[in-house]
A = this chain, B = another copy of it.
Amino acid sequence: MTHSQQDQELHAVTLEQPTLAAACDAIADGIDREALVTVFGRCTVEYDGRASSTLDAGDRHVMLKPDGAALVHTDEGQQPVNWQPPGCDHEVFCEQRDADADRSDAAETAGGTATETETETEILTLESVRSTPDERLLVRFRNVLQVSAFSGTDETELALSGTEEDLRQRLLDEPDLLEPGFTPLATERDTAAGAIDIYGEDDAGRTVVVELKRRRVGPDAVSQLRRYVDALGRDLHADTTVRGILVAPSVTDRAKRLLTEHGLEFISLEPTAA
């Protein structure tokens, strides 16, 4: 690929302090060209779908992705304050709107500050909608400080290690890490309660159910293991002894107590060797 061909793919267009009409055009164009579009400015946000929420006016950063995702970020927190998952349709439009429409009746009756907003009646609206489930996100801007449309390429995939899958491989490669004589027989073995991470036998021929967790675990993981052990005990003959072993870096006190109560075991092991 030549340098000029790359330039055709990789570019960024930015408007600073645009009029709402200009911002609207730039956003619509960015969505059309399947760019990653960002908008920064003063806005209100409404969401309705699995739950519903409202957010009063504030300065926020909105990102619209070409796959249909939408993210509204404040200056705090890792998570967006509002969002929409991939698969949504983004729309943008500019309209005349009663500036008092967003305000509560209480503010209206309080009066006094109404004159400040009466001059600004134009509103830029971003709307992201999807179905199954029906969900709608509405972002209304009174003021846009910046609009950008980014185009680029990203063919790479994340290479991640330290996952539960790494822990599984580590144990399958070296079963003695569980205990001497352990023999794995199956992974993802199905039971009425779900799939067992590792199913095997100890050196005395007893059935072993292994539940893997990549990090320190609480009571939930113990319950999960218990479900599997119970289900397998019913699936097999009633006189079969089934051992349940939780494998994780560590357990909480409450989880340890639950393990003891239910006759389950714990082995400390990390996803990757130190």
Contact = CB atoms under 8 A, between A and B. Distances in A.
Interface of A: 10-12, 14, 16, 36, 38, 40, 42, 50-61, 63, 65-67, 69, 71, 73-78, 81-86, 143, 145-146, 148, 150-163, 192-194, 214-215, 219-220, 223-224, 226-227, 254, 257-258, 271
A145 B219 CA distance: 48
**Residue in A75, A219, A254 with the greatest tally of chain B CB atoms within 10 Å:** A75
A76 B81 contact: no
Given A77-B86, A86-B77, A58 B155 contact: yes
Given A75-B150, A194-B254, A223-B224, 20 more contacts: A12-B16, A14-B16, A36-B61, A36-B75, A51-B162, A51-B271, A55-B157, A59-B151, A59-B154, A63-B73, A65-B77, A67-B75, A75-B152, A77-B86, A78-B84, A78-B85, A145-B150, A146-B148, A223-B226, A223-B227
Q: For A50, A76, A215, A257, which residue has the most chain B Cβ atoms within 10 angstroms?
A: A76
B16 A58 contact: no
B55 A159 contact: yes
A145 to B, nearest CB: 4
A82 B158 contact: yes
B158 A81 contact: yes
A36 B187 CA distance: 46
A78 B71 contact: yes
Nearest to A218: B194
Contact of A65 (B75, B150, B214, B254): B75
Nearest to A40: B150
B60 A154 contact: yes
A258 B57 CA distance: 47
A178 B68 CA distance: 40
A209 to B, nearest CB: 15
Contacts of A193: 219, 254, 258
B75 A66 contact: yes
A163 B148 CA distance: 35
Contacts of A143: 10
Contacts of A54: 158-159
B223 A55 contact: no
9 contacts: A11-B145, A12-B40, A36-B61, A52-B161, A65-B75, A66-B76, A145-B150, A219-B227, A220-B220
